[in-house]
Amino acid sequence: MAPDTWLDDFRAGRTRTLEECYRNHYADVARAAERVLGAADAETVTHEVFYRLLTDPEMRQGFRGENLRGWLTQVATNRAIDVARRLRREQGDLAEEGAGGDVPAARFDDAVDAKLLIDRFVREKLPPAWSALFDARFIRQLPQREAAAELGMQRTTLVYQEQRIRELLRKFLLEGGES
């Protein structure tokens, strides 16, 4: 199917295209949500993302046609952060009453800040061709051999690209995460 036809079918909400999207990207969306939330809440977020994809034409129009996996995982991450913030507000009274007071809230804020910083690095500095490698090695922390096999590349190529990503990340962090 031609890319333009696929994108038109996606935006129109064609059943076959959305089913293909679900089958191909469910695991990616679930992993993105699990990076922020526990398994049960992440599963709920994953289902919400795909439900909106099925029922909300405006959401589908928001996809510009470049990287569906990246777009869906960003949607899931944003939704998961919203849910985590809501849960934190709902549980705020319990955290204040327990030992440690603001410690759980501070850890949560640090985790959210770190996730947002990583997302910004990926969006602003990481070449799209290296995003799968970044996910495999830096986010999911797969061993090099396993990541190379999953990505269908030579281990030496993976090592070279990983080193380049480390340099980009180091420079990004030394600049204070500035754009």
Q: Please give the pLDDT value at position 152.
A: 93
User: Could you read off the pLDDT of 68-89 as tens digits, one per residue?
Assistant: 888 888 888 888 888 888 877 7
Q: Please give the pLDDT value at position 175.
A: 81
Looking at the chain, which runs of residues are DSSP E strands? none
Distance in angstroms (rounded) separating the CA atoms of residues 132 and 149: 12
The share of the chain scoring above pLDDT 70, in percent, equals: 85
CB contact at 8 A, 142 and 150? yes
Q: What is the pTM of this model?
A: 0.51
Q: Please give the pLDDT value at position 2.
A: 54
Domain 3-124 has CATH 1.10.287.130: no
CB contact at 8 A, 177 and 120? yes
Distance in angstroms (rounded) separating the CA atoms of residues 72 and 20: 13
4-8, 32-36, 76-80, 148-152: least confident range: 4-8
Q: Kindly tell me if the per-residue pLDDT of 93 is higher than 60.
A: no
- When pLDDT is cut at 50, 70 and 90, the band that residue 4 belongs to is low
Distance in angstroms (rounded) separating the CA atoms of residues 33 and 73: 8
- When pLDDT is cut at 50, 70 and 90, the band that residue 165 belongs to is very high
CB contact at 8 A, 49 and 79? yes
- When pLDDT is cut at 50, 70 and 90, the band that residue 3 belongs to is low
